[in-house]
Amino acid sequence: MALMTIVKREFSSYFATPVAYVFLVIFLVMQGMFTFYLGSFYEREQADLAAFFAYQPWLFLFLMPAIGMRLWSEERKAGTFEILLTLPIPLGTIVVGKYLAALLFAALALLLTTPIWVTVNWLGNPDNGVIMTGYVGSLLMAASYLAIGAALSATTRNQVVAFILTVTICFLFLVSGLPMVLDVFSGWAPDELILAIANLSLINHFDNLQKGVVALSDIIYFASVIGLWLWINRVVIERKREAG
């Protein structure tokens, strides 16, 4: 009950101002532009959403931190941080509740892109199973970005700082598996280290899902990233509360 109360409170706060609607419109316009224009959807003459998912890690790199930056920074700036922590609700419940509200908002944004999926089915006969796993991968990637954003939002009362920190950390997670990054370590670093760095990459694990490959290792990866950063989020808030 307490968890749902926090989720409802946080989710409704997104729509307290026109910002949420502006965000959703920007997201949908950019997603359509990346899919049909930059992704050369029509030129490829293939009934799939490869172009839709190809740019998603980079689009989310800026849009998800924009959602997550307010989670704790706004509470501290508005002076409601201390009041929230004095409520008879476990700290873990508050952390998870605020996070789930942000994830629910991200899921809503993804849900609003389903007309693109319908359009592809109208134009041809796509593999809807692959598209479904791509959507699952998108939600997991968004969840990872938001977990990182929630933790970093707790470290500052400035939303812009929280946004920049989140984009930076997410960018590092994103590019760690790219060849240009791994080439820096090749030749002097052991293969085990290079493999470990490559496995940290969000984009590598997302690529498997968007291609329709559901591997337990990818699910464990995303779950680990989300769990780790939510734990960091709780630790940061606990330290802030103890510090007064």
Q: Over its length of 244 residues, how does the chain's per-residue pLDDT go in tens digits?
A: 788 888 898 888 888 878 888 889 998 888 888 887 776 766 666 767 888 888 889 999 999 999 988 888 877 777 777 777 777 788 888 899 999 999 999 999 999 998 888 888 887 788 888 889 999 999 999 999 999 999 999 888 888 999 999 999 999 888 887 777 777 777 777 777 777 777 888 888 898 888 888 889 899 999 999 999 999 999 998 887 777 6
Domain range for residue 129?
A: 2-243
Q: What is the pLDDT of residue 47?
A: 66
Single-letter residue type at 129: G
Please give the structure tokens belonging to residue 109. Answer: 């944004």
Count CB-CB contacts under 10 A for residue 235.
13
Distances (CA, A) of 200 to 186, 187, 224: 16, 20, 11
- The number of helices, as runs of H, and strands, as runs of E, in the chain is 15, 0
CA distances from 138 to 20, 66, 229 (A): 20, 16, 18
d(CA 217, CA 231): 21
Sign of the torsion formed by the C-alpha atoms of 25, 26, 32 and 37: positive
pLDDT on residue 125: 83
Would you say the pTM of this structure is higher than 0.85?
A: yes
Q: Domain tally for the chain?
A: 1
Model pLDDT, residue 45:
67
What is the pLDDT at residue 111? 93
Classify each residue of 177-209 as buried b or exposed e, where b means 16 or more C-beta atoms within 10 Å of its C-beta: beeebbeeeeeeeeeeebeebbebbbbbbbbbb
Distance in angstroms (rounded) separating the CA atoms of residues 139 and 131: 12
Residues in the chain: 244
Q: Give 175's contacts (C-beta < 8 A, 6+ positions apart).
A: 181, 201, 203
Helix, strand, or coil (residue 225)? helix
